[in-house]
Amino acid sequence: MVSLSLVAIDLTILATAVPSVVKDLGGFEQFPWLFSIYVLATAVTTPLYAKVADRLGRKPVMIAGIVAFLVGSLLCGLAWSLTALIVFRAIQGIGAGAIQPMAMTIVSDIYTLEERAVATSYVASVWATAAIVGPTLGGVFADYLDWRLIFLINLPIGALALWLLRHFHENRQPSPTAAIDWAGAGLLTVGGIALLLGLLEGGHAWAWASWPSYLIFAVGIVALVAFGFVERRAADPVLPPWVLTHRVLAPANAASLIVGVVMLGLTTYVPLYAQSVLGHSAVVAGFALAGMSIGWPIAAATAGRIYLSKGFRVAVGLGAMLVIAGGLVLVTVGESSSFWHLAIPCFVLGLGFGWSVNPGVVAAGSAVAWEVRGVATGSNMFARSVGSALGVALFGAVANGLVRREYAGGEVPPLEALPADVLAPALHVVFVVGLVVSLPLLIVAWRTPVRIDH
């Protein structure tokens, strides 16, 4: 739980301080990279960590992830430019790629399905605490102290996590078998980076219908197609093909992918709307985002009662309907809206995210044996990370494109200088895109099994 708090706080603490970071370091149009590079690094490393954990155990992978996260945090706190900060955020993401999946895999290892309904409520308390502490600290540091403390605060928390992990002893330590699928991991990294770069910079650094755009997307698609072929022939693939067709894992991973797109896209732009359009401070903007972060752990803590009594399909279906309902309310927010008009739909969305995703995480850990549980849980985290990367890139491309169009290709003013009547319409489209992306959750719920064998 302490280890997981590093990732949980990081997801909310930076968003409220973005205006201060941009004001200090510059580069409004680059700021989505602070989030996208993090989630991309998390996404491409998670499958590899999961595979290693099934061979060497969860503890060494968790320790390696925490150390990488702390190194990245220290460097972020010392960053001298936005480019340097983006690079160091990638190091943080490499560490986060181990922490979250290992935490959930350990829960699956030591608790039965019924016990997990209770255990996940304790894990959810980490996210609930982070939902309050993260945005509040981010706002306080940005408004009254120094935004660099956002990253340096991780150092004592991480040190405590490492100290506590010395008491964790695993009962099973499998031996390595076939060679690690480095070719697959490399192709996955190249493909993911290329596609994200194309989405984020298309329409800005180059036109969508231009040879750089065609080239970057071609590299990404070719790399991912090659990755598919390599995984089918690898002796021990980093992301086994059976994960994509498993009756339990496939819908669970699809839900995580969709929620990842919607969640981190809104996480990036809801505080921006609260500050730059509605005129609230960073602290107040953080509380608006906290509505989403509080709703998720509440849903995670109560989802067990639903899927144990009514089945997993009912839990995911309720979550899907709440996500859509929250999205419908969010698109009605305007320049004259109140704080609560923005915060309440975020809370509803958080509830929907929790009921849509957490039952799938529990199901994934229960549907497979110990020897592949790391891969199963890791694939779910991987899907959410990929969704998050795509969400930030997609919404960033939409927002930047609309803002630049407003200035007819001229120089875009810095973040703090953008007028509300320019920023508000662009962010409204972002909210509409989030609603459209969430609609397939209803299909995912229908495909989710009612019960699983465990």
Highest mean pLDDT among 52-61, 157-166, 393-402: 157-166
Is pLDDT above 80 for 436? yes
Q: What is the pLDDT of residue 176?
A: 55
Give the single-character DSSP code of 418. -
Each residue of 256-286: b (16+ CB within 10 Å) or e? bbbbbbbbbbbbbbbbbbbbbbbebebbbbb
Alpha carbon distances (Å) from 107 to 42, 100, 103, 123, 218? 20, 11, 6, 9, 40
Q: What is the pLDDT of residue 179?
A: 67
pTM: 0.77
Q: What is the mean pLDDT of residues 79-101?
A: 87
Is pLDDT above 70 for 174? no
**Planar angle of CA 401, 402, 404, nearest 5 degrees:** 65
Q: Is 206 helix (H, G, I), strand (E, B) or coil?
A: strand
Q: What is the pLDDT of residue 435?
A: 92
Both tokens assigned to 297: 């752990």
Q: What is the pLDDT of residue 230?
A: 86
- Positive or negative, the CA dihedral 320, 326, 330, 332 is positive
Highest mean pLDDT among 120-124, 214-218, 404-408: 214-218
CA terminus-to-terminus distance, the chain = 25
Is pLDDT above 90 for 11? no
* Residue 453 banded pLDDT, cuts 50, 70, 90: low
Q: What is the mean pLDDT of residues 310-317?
A: 86
156's CB contacts (< 8 A; 6+ apart) are: none
**Any bridge partners for residue 206, and if so which?**
202
Highest mean pLDDT among 63-77, 106-120, 195-209, 274-288: 63-77
Is pLDDT above 80 for 103? yes
Q: Is 174 helix (H, G, I), strand (E, B) or coil?
A: coil
Percent of the chain with pLDDT over 70: 90
Do the Cβ atoms of 170 and 110 come closer than 8 Å? no
């200090």: which residue's tokens?
A: 24
Q: How many other CB atoms sit within 10 Å of the CB of residue 122?
A: 11
Q: Is 36 helix (H, G, I), strand (E, B) or coil?
A: helix
Q: What is the mean pLDDT of residues 128-133?
A: 72
Percent of the chain with pLDDT over 90: 15
Q: How many other CB atoms sit within 10 Å of the CB of residue 331?
A: 17
Half-sphere exposure of 436 (CA within 13 A, CB side): 9
Both tokens assigned to 285: 């903007």
Tell me the pLDDT tens digit for each residue of 439-451: 999 998 888 887 7
Query: H helices within 175-281, ranges in order?
Result: 182-201, 211-233, 242-245, 249-276
Return the HEC string of 317-350.
HHHHHHHHHHHHHHCCCCCCCCHHHHHHHHHHHH
Do the Cβ atoms of 299 and 354 come closer than 8 Å? yes
Tell me the pLDDT tens digit for each residue of 413-434: 655 567 777 778 888 888 999 8
